[in-house]
Each structure stands twice: as structure tokens, then as C-alpha cells.
A and B are shown apart, each in its own frame.
Chain A
Amino acid sequence: MHVELVIQLIINGLLLGGVFALAALGLNVIFGVTRIVNLAHGQIVILTALTCAVIFQRFGITPIEALPGALIGGAILGTLIERLLLRRLPEHAQSREWTSLLITFGVSYFLVGLSLAIFSGDFRSVAYLTDSWHVGGIDFPKAQLLAFILAILIAGFLGILLRSTKVGRALRAASQNLDGARTCGIDIGRMRTLSFALGCGIAAASGALLSMVYAYNPDTGSQFTLISFSVVVLGGLGSYAGAIVGAGLLGLAVSFVGFYGNTHFGSMMPYIVFILVLLFRPTGILGKPATT
């Protein structure tokens, strides 16, 4: 029945969107505070996904169980990147922008190399919860559903953190007005480190969740970076709500195009959306512009 098919595609799209959203949130946190675009983002997701695949295979630890570890691991990696590498940036604003871009570019390739060295070029995924619930003729793939729920939870937690805690508010202040925040005595250096830790931690978490949904190999990292950027740009830079909406829309786009077109075109959607949004609606749905 056609309606059922459409509903299934919608469900698939939304579930996919949930995890896209989580990945994108991590990026938003970093960009919001530091104005640095973390090109290594996608690779962190992949690296975690691959790690989860391997530890599931060897030790039977599920990605869900591994989630806290992923969060912490990602946070540590983010802290390292920020403290070791991005502290030494030149003062001149434009040089900062390029240098940080190129540094994270280098880091991402370092991580690709690392992933290849450790995991080789094979595609891996976690064969956990591969079955689905059948409700009213609609399939709810368990793994995806779980990933979606956890993504929402983590996003919600992030939201609470940002709104209700002192640290969270400091982070938001720093992302809205750096000088103002400085004047209020907020330690910008710490905010930067914190945003990187959070951002990369969340990226790792989304990697753990995604390992159950798809198969990955080390080369797919840049695709993930682009997908996350598509979401961020689609939803509007700096807007968390926008990122969620954007992720949902993108998930739907991938789902429908992937089915009615073919899977290849489906996988092209993030890039196409990215470019189209940047060119024709740079503010995204709810955010600040990416052009002059």
C-alpha cells in the first residue's frame, strides 16, 4: 500500500535524522564558541564506530554499553586537539581561520590514516539489534530506534546543560558575544577547551550509536563531516533547534531520494543540500548567515 510505504520512508528518514542531529550538535557546539570548523569531526565519528564494531566482535560489548566510554574518549581527544594544536594559533583573525581549518584538516587525515592502520579498509558495523519491531505494518528497526532515542536524550541533556547550568550559560555567552563574555569574567580559554571536549565527545557518542545503523570504513569520515555540516548549515549556524529540524529534513531527503532515485543519489543529498542551502538560503532555517 502506497501510504504505508510513504510512512515507512518518513519513519526511516526521521530516525536517520535523529542520529544526524546528534552528530551535527557536536559540530555546532564547537563552531558556536570557537568559530572553528572542526574538519576532523566526521573522522571522530567513524573512528568510534569502527572501534565499537571491533570491541563488539571481540568482547561482545554493545555500543550502548560502550557509550559512556565513547563520550569520555571523544572528550579527551577534543581536549587534546584544542590544547595542543589550536592554542598556538596566530593572532590575526583571518590567519586563525585558515590555520585552524588546515590544522583540523590535517588532524582528520591523521585519523583516517590511524583508522586504516588499525582497522584496515574493511567495512564494519555492529550486528546488534538487527531486527525490527512491527507496528501496524510499519517496520521500526530496533537499532535505529534505539539510536534515535539515545540521540534525543543526549541532545536533551545538552540542552539542559546549556540552559540551566552555570557552565552551560557561560558557553552560550561565549558563543554569542566573545568580548562581552570576556568582560563578564568568563575564561575564554576554558570555554574553548570545554566546547571542543563536548563537541568531540558528542561526535564520538553519535559514532557509537551509528555503528549499529550502517557499515563504515575509514574513508567515509569526510562524508560524515559534510553531512554534519549540511545539517548545521541547513538548520542555521548557531541554532541548536535548527540543527534538529535540519537533521530531520535531511534524513527525510536521504530516505525518499534514496528510495525513489537510487541509493547513490540518496547519498549525494547531503552535499547537494549543503551547496544549495549555502548558495540560496545562507541563514538556513533558523540561524546566522554563512556568507558576507
Chain B
Amino acid sequence: MSAPLLEVENISRSFGGLRALNDVSFSVKEGEIVSIIGPNGAGKTTLFNLISGVFPPSSGDVRFKGKSIVGMATYRIAKAGIGRTYQVVRPFVRLSVIDNVAVGALVHEKTYAAARRAAAEILELVGLSHLADSPASSLTLTQRKRLEVARALATRPALLLLDEVMAGLNPTEVDAMCAFILNLRKHGISAVGGIEHLMRFVMNISDRIIVLDFGRKIAEGTPQEIATHPEVVAAYFGTPIET
């Protein structure tokens, strides 16, 4: 019905002789949670880098809200409404937690003071308010991951790209993060694209799953469909996935 929020069309990306992505296409609609899975080296992070503008595709198009964003500078893409977290978190180490988030808020706020106010609200959301004035360097890994998400949220993205946001979390933390992500939809984040290895999370949370292997899309569908998809099973395991 409504036009897709994100359209990825036949994108490929090569690095020298290596083809990291090969003719991948998919789209994400508003309000969807889409997970991208695949064995290591399948091209998932490259895909995220392409969408967020870290580098351009070798061929193909990426459209966001109907407009092509290929060749746009990273910061413009962020301003247009695509937020992203990094797998290896990159906090602004010497800035305080609240300043970290305020940077993201500057996309929509004009002044430092307003940005800090917006940041304070976000910190409430992720449960880091009590650490607002602490330097980011003093945070534990879990806290840093939450900070990473908070920063991206501060830009008020329509699409949030979460790169292996579960990595390194224990089961309780994973459940909390799951609930948090499902909650995002209520807070105006239209869609979430996630790269994950944790199958439990992927199956529970996703509306749709896209499977990459060696840079190609080998399957796309609902969790149920993917769980029994022969190629997916072959790429990952020897047996079908239990849900």
C-alpha cells in the first residue's frame, strides 16, 4: 500500500577483486522489523555501510523515502533519517554520556541546551540517566551498547540499522534489548533493520528475514518460511531451526 521506506535495488560492491555484495535487492516498509542474517563474511556489514553512506555501491541503487541516496555524504543520510549503530561500539570516549547522545540530537535541535534536553529524554528510555554526566569511557560494554543505540535514536531516525546489537550480551540483557526494540515502534521509529546471529532473537522479533550468503541474497520471508528454507538450512546448519 504505502511506498517502501527503504529500497535496495541490485546493489553490488567489490573491493579490488573481492565481490562483497552481489546483486542484492530488498525493501523495508514503514513499521517493519527486518533482520538480515547470514554466516560471517556474507556481506551484512558491507550492506549496512552502503546504506548508511560510508562508501557507495559499485552498482545498483539505494532509495530512501523514494529518493536515491547513493553518493550522499554520510551525514546527509543521517539527517535524512537513517540511524545506525556499529558492531564494535564507538562512543565519544572523552565526552560525557549525555553529550554523546546530544551530538545525535543536534540533527533536529538547534542549540546545545536543547540537544541536551532531548538527550536526557533518550537516556531515560535506555536506562542510562544516572550516568548522564559520567565520561563515556567509564561505561561497561553493555552500557556502551545502550549508549550506541541511544545516540542513534537521538537523530530521530525513521529507519534504524542495528549492527549485531546483541553481541556480548547475556540472555537477560538480550531479552531486555528485544523488548526495547519491539518498543521502538511505539516511539515513532518506523522500521528497524538488524544484523544478528542470535537466532532466538531473530525469530521472535522479525516481521521478515533476509538471508545473505557470500554476498548474495539466498532467501527472504517470514521467520517460519526461513526456518524451513532448504538453502538457508544448508548455509547454516545441517538441520532445520527449532522455533
Contacts and interface: CB of A to CB of B under 8 A. Distances in A.
Contacts of A92: 93-94, 137
Interface residues of B, number: 3
A92 B94 CA distance: 10
A65 B36 CA distance: 68
B229 to A, nearest CB: 37
Contacts of B137: 92
B87 to A, nearest CB: 17
Interface in A52-108: 92
Interface in B109-137: 137
B100 to A, nearest CB: 15
The interface size bin for chain A is: under 10
Which applies to chain B's interface (DSSP): helix, strand, loop or mixed? loop
B90 to A, nearest CB: 11
Contacts of B94: 92
Nearest to A93: B93
Contacts of B93: 92
Interface string B162-173: 000000000000
Interface string B80-103: 000000000000011000000000
A66 to B, nearest CB: 47
A92 B137 CA distance: 10
Nearest to A92: B93
A92 B136 CA distance: 12
Nearest to B93: A92
B135 to A, nearest CB: 11
Nearest to A94: B93
A95 to B, nearest CB: 8
A92 B90 CA distance: 12
A139 to B, nearest CB: 47
Nearest to B137: A92
B93 to A, nearest CB: 6
A59 B94 CA distance: 55
A92 B135 CA distance: 13
B136 to A, nearest CB: 11
Interface string B21-55: 00000000000000000000000000000000000
A92 B95 CA distance: 13
B222 to A, nearest CB: 40
A289 to B, nearest CB: 14
A92 to B, nearest CB: 6
B204 to A, nearest CB: 35
A96 to B, nearest CB: 12
A291 to B, nearest CB: 14
B232 to A, nearest CB: 32
A82 to B, nearest CB: 25
A270 B156 CA distance: 49
B195 to A, nearest CB: 23
A292 to B, nearest CB: 11
A169 B137 CA distance: 36
A92 B93 CA distance: 9
A92 B92 CA distance: 11
A92 B138 CA distance: 13
A26 to B, nearest CB: 31
3 contacts: A92-B93, A92-B94, A92-B137
Per CB-CB distance, the 3 closest pairs between chain A and chain B, nearest first, are: A92-B93, A92-B137, A92-B94
Interface of B: 93-94, 137
Interface of A: 92
